[in-house]
Chain A
Amino acid sequence: GESVGLHLPTLSVQEGDNSIINCAYSNSASDYFIWYKQESGKGPQFIIDIRSNMDKRQGQRVTVLLNKTVKHLSLQIAATQPGDSAVYFCAENTLNTGNQFYFGTGTSLTVIP
């Protein structure tokens, strides 16, 4: 069955440092991945996505890395700010499952001022 997991349930970083949030998936057929940020009491907010034909994609202060060999995904946040404190989810999708996304349980990021 599908399995999307996160290595660390909680992460604390100093303001200004870089953050790395990891995610593992089990389905080698997964071909689309999204990182979401969810602040308390709010719905998930899209951060960045990556397709399986890419290894790296950069956004504003964020970079997603995809290692298909070991089925691992990471989200790097540069110069972490207090506003980055939230729960981060990775979600994966596989073409043969249609538009159903599988989410991990999330990593709670706390930025220490």
Chain B
Amino acid sequence: DAGVTQSPTHLIKTRGQQVTLRCSPKSGHDTVSWYQQALGQGPQFIFQYYEEEERQRGNFPDRFSGHQFPNYSSELNVNALLLGDSALYLCASWGFAGRTSGNTIYFGEGSWLTVV
């Protein structure tokens, strides 16, 4: 049973460029959340997708957008990259009914983004 998988694992982009990160949730999970983790900090919530719609959003600008596909996988897009966007981007998944059924949220290994 594969866990949460993310790609790419590492990438370098130039300021002003655009980036797309991908995530496949854990088998049986239908909800995907994205987090940004700056060096030395805890993860910060970006947004969450369920039923192919953005359900909740953290305090991130519109440059950050996402998408969820019918197979529950998800993409995170960041436009007009800034140096400050350099971070580990984490995808997390769980079953929407998880909070009442005892399932928990699982993270992938993340995608390291460096903006130069």
Report the bound CA distance from A45 to B4 in whole Å.
11
Chain A CB within 8 A of B41 CB? yes
Complex interface: chain A residues within 8 A of B33 (CB): 99-101
Closest to B32 in A: A99
Complex interface: chain B residues within 8 A of A34 (CB): 104-105
Tell me the interface secondary structure of chain A in the complex. strand
Check if B110 sits within 8 Å of A43, measured CB to CB: yes
Report the bound CA distance from A36 to B110 in whole Å.
14
Q: Mark B64-108, 1 if CB is under 8 A from A, else 0.
A: 000000000000000000000000101010100001000011111
B34 to chain A, nearest CB (A): 11
Check if A105 sits within 8 Å of B41, measured CB to CB: yes
Check if A103 sits within 8 Å of B43, measured CB to CB: yes
Complex interface: chain A residues within 8 A of B41 (CB): 105-106
Check if B99 sits within 8 Å of A105, measured CB to CB: no
Q: Which residues of A contact B (CB under 8 A)?
A: 4, 32, 34, 36, 42-46, 49, 89, 91, 93, 95, 97-106
Q: Which residues of B contact A (CB under 8 A)?
A: 4, 6, 31, 33, 40-45, 48, 55-56, 58, 88, 90, 92, 94, 99, 104-110
